[in-house]
Each structure stands twice: as C-alpha cells, then as structure tokens.
Amino acid sequence: MNEPNDLTHFSAEGRARMVDVSEKADTRRVAIASGTIRMNPATLERIHAGTIAKGNVLAVADVAAVMAAKRTSETIPMCHSLPLSGVEVSFAEITEPDREGCVGIKATVTASCVGPTGVEMEALCAVSAALLTIYDMCKAIDRGMRIENVQLEEKRGGKRGVWVRGERE
C-alpha cells in the first residue's frame, strides 16, 4: 500500500498533476469492475418484460458503459486518455431479496488496452454509467433504487502485475 507521500497525482508542492507516463512500458492492461443497482421486484420484472417506457434498459445501459469507458479522461481530471482495445459489459440478476425486499442487477465491465497505464478508471466509469442509465430509465416507476458496491474487482498488467479483490489486500 502506498504511503501518503507516495501519492503520484500530487507534486512536491502538493498541487494536483497528471502523472507523466511517457517512460513507462506499454503492456497489456485489463481491469474488471462491478456494481449493483437494487430495485423493487416489479421494476426488474418490467425490465425483463420490455415494458419500460424508455426502451430496452439493459441494451441502452450496455452502450452507456462503452461510451463512458471511452470518455473517462474527459470526466476524471488526472486520468490519461487511452486507446481502448475492448470493453465487455455483462449483467446478472440478483433475485434474492434483501431485507427491504429489493432485488437487483449486477453490472460487470472488463476494459482492456495496451498502454503505459491501467484501465481501472475506465472500468469503474463504465460500471457507474451503466447503473446510472438503469436508474434513469426506470426512475419514473421506482425512485427508491439504490446503486451499491461500485468497486474494482481485478486489474492486470503494468509493473505491479495482478491484483484481485480479496487476495492479500
């Protein structure tokens, strides 16, 4: 784990900066992020039935995730723009109700590229955009939806190699 003075996005004077990665080697980079949106069971049923007025919710959320991954550097100030080679989006139902009776959808995004810096932010932005899109498309019938647990699951590539959530954190 980095010590506070090892934060690379701050200059010696404490000012924010974009890190110079020009000396870093290009390697294959992969990041996987996930997140969940909890909703009323009736909302999930309508998503699957295709009766949400704004259209096919998961198809639109899929496109939103890809678009967000491609434009991450426009949203996150110190993030480098990367030529992504792939963005994969998947959705899984969570049908076991939580204590409030809500069910949900888990979104998972894998982003990849060959470059001098990782794609963690692209994967995280993509998951966030997918979940926010689901919220936007369903909010007319379920304003109580909750977006939860947006997190990095795995990253591969670069000097530090592989990191997987839950393994020797």
DSSP 3-state assignment of 28? strand
User: DSSP readout, 71-129?
Assistant: THHHHSTTPPP---SEEEEEEEEE-S--TTS-EEEEEEEEEEEEESS--HHHHHHHHHH
Q: Is residue 35 within a helix (H) or strand (E), and if so which, with residue range?
A: strand 27-39
Catalytic residue (choose from 6, 62, 136, 142): 136
What length does the chain have? 169
6 an active-site residue?
no
Catalytic residues: 136
